[in-house]
Amino acid sequence: MTPCGVSLFSVRGAFEGDGITKIEVPEDAQRVEVAGTQGAVTDDDGMPCGKVCIAQGRLWLGLGDHGPAGDLRSCQVWVWNKELPDDKTYVGTIDNEGAAMLASSVNFPAADMEIYTLQPSTGWQWCYYALKQGGALWCEWPDFIRLADIYKLTPSTGLPLIMSAQWMAAHLPTKADFHTMPLALRQYSTFGHLLNYKGTSLALEKMDRTRLSRSLLTDPIDGHTTIDFIGFDRERHIILKGMKEDDTFAADLHVGVGRIDIYTTEAEIEWLFLSGQSTGGVAALACPLLIKHGLADLIPEHRLAEIMPQERRPVGGGGLIAPQRCQ
């Protein structure tokens, strides 16, 4: 059985007037069943009936008397009378159980048959797949969403949040993409982009795991002493200057926990360094190292930090060198 978009059409005879009439199929009947190795699709009682079953039995192809027919031309089609479109006048026959015929009879042979491959609405299959994953966990989200609505994190249109097939197709086009995150994050990712806090999107964003340059944290650093330690996370001190007797100042990089802090005793040029005007001292040591490890582009153009009273002052955190000076 394959869930997919299904619509039925009456070409002529069942409704007044000319033209093709579309009959909408309920969402729970949007599926197609095709005979596999067992050779037949079974009915609700488990009895083999035909070769193809569309829309939960509303359309059968290859339907036989006591099992599947030899080909697909033996057909059966019907819909429930409550599914008939309101804007059309039905002139066919409705049986005692409420089944409406779309042809001269429920069972008919197809004189000719054309099969087309239709492109479904992109992304609908991933919506279905996402909803199938972790059914019990989905039940935990209503309270979260109600709380988000109370704190005005939901769209201006309010609830419900609508899972978009187009968004799913663009951001989670394959099953592999969906399984790159823990289950709770996977589920949140399907609607998190609809939430915002004062205009800031609360969507999950996949980040490049190497963006903070794992190499700077783990690889040997030529020409500099490194001190590695592990606390809550892996961290490293890279000594840039201050290990020799004739060094006029001390400086080191502290890398870890998603930050790069520069510590220096070069107080007299600290403000010049932060504003991108320093070309010597710690800037001349740090810039080449950061460029080598692909980190210069992460450093904001201007970021000032307060002067601290300690002998070794942190110039700042998160990367503070003006990138235009790292050349």
Higher model confidence: residue 284 or residue 56? 56
Identity of the residue numbered 10: S
Q: Is 308 among the domain residues?
A: yes
H helix or E strand, kind and range, residue 286: helix 281-292
Same domain membership, residue 94 and residue 166:
no
Same domain membership, residue 278 and residue 313:
yes
User: What are 91-120's pLDDT values in tens digits?
Assistant: 988 998 999 998 777 888 887 666 655 555
Q: Is 207 among the domain residues?
A: no
Same domain membership, residue 319 and residue 236:
yes
- Of 4-18, 23-37, 211-225, minimum mean pLDDT range: 211-225
H-type helices in 68-140, by residue range?
124-132, 135-138
Question: CA 18 → CA 10, 87, 89, 309, distances in Å?
Answer: 10, 14, 11, 88
How far is 118 from 16, CA to CA, in rounded Å? Answer: 28
- Of 67, 84, 109, the one marking the end of a domain is 109
Task: Report pLDDT for 89.
Answer: 92
Q: Is 209 among the domain residues?
A: no
Closest CA to 283 of 322, 311, 254: 322
- Of 58, 85, 109, the one marking the end of a domain is 109
Identity of the residue numbered 156: S
**Average of per-residue pLDDT across 191-204:** 90
Task: Report pLDDT for 147.
Answer: 92
Q: Is 115 among the domain residues?
A: no
Task: Report pLDDT for 237.
Answer: 85
Task: Report pLDDT for 209.
Answer: 52
**Average of per-residue pLDDT across 33-55:** 84
Most confident of 137-141, 192-196, 270-274: 192-196
Q: pTM of the full predicted structure? A: 0.38
Task: Report pLDDT for 121.
Answer: 54
Same domain membership, residue 233 and residue 191:
no
Q: Is 18 among the domain residues?
A: yes
What's the total number of domains in the chain? 3
Same domain membership, residue 177 and residue 251:
no
- Of 52, 75, 109, the one marking the end of a domain is 109
Same domain membership, residue 319 and residue 273:
yes
Specify whether the CB–CB gap between 297 and 323 falls below 8 A. yes
Domain limits for position 133: 124-201
pLDDT bin (cut points 50, 70, 90) of residue 324 is very low
Same domain membership, residue 268 and residue 182:
no
Same domain membership, residue 232 and residue 191:
no
Structure tokens at 172: 């989670």
Task: Report pLDDT for 282.
Answer: 73
Higher model confidence: residue 11 or residue 144? 144
pLDDT at 213 over 70: no
How many Å is the maximal CA-CA distance in the chain? Answer: 103
Task: Report pLDDT for 252.
Answer: 86
Q: What is the DSSP string of 230-245?
A: ESSSEEEEEEEE-SST
Round the average pLDDT of the chain to a whole number and report it: 76
Q: Is 48 among the domain residues?
A: yes
Same domain membership, residue 256 and residue 191:
no
Same domain membership, residue 23 and residue 104:
yes
Q: Tell me the percentage of the chain whose pLDDT exceeds 90.
A: 12
pLDDT bin (cut points 50, 70, 90) of residue 1 is low
pLDDT at 229 over 60: yes
Q: Is 60 among the domain residues?
A: yes
Same domain membership, residue 105 and residue 66:
yes
User: What are 273-323's pLDDT values in tens digits?
Assistant: 444 444 457 777 777 787 777 776 655 443 323 323 334 444 444 333 333
Q: Is 130 among the domain residues?
A: yes
pLDDT at 327 over 60: no
Structure tokens at 325: 């000076």
Task: Report pLDDT for 10.
Answer: 86
Phi/psi zone of residue 291: left (φ > 0), alpha (ψ -120 to 50 degrees), beta?
Answer: alpha
How far is 26 from 23, CA to CA, in rounded Å? Answer: 10
Structure tokens at 154: 């939901």
**Average of per-residue pLDDT across 214-227:** 80
Same domain membership, residue 278 and residue 183:
no
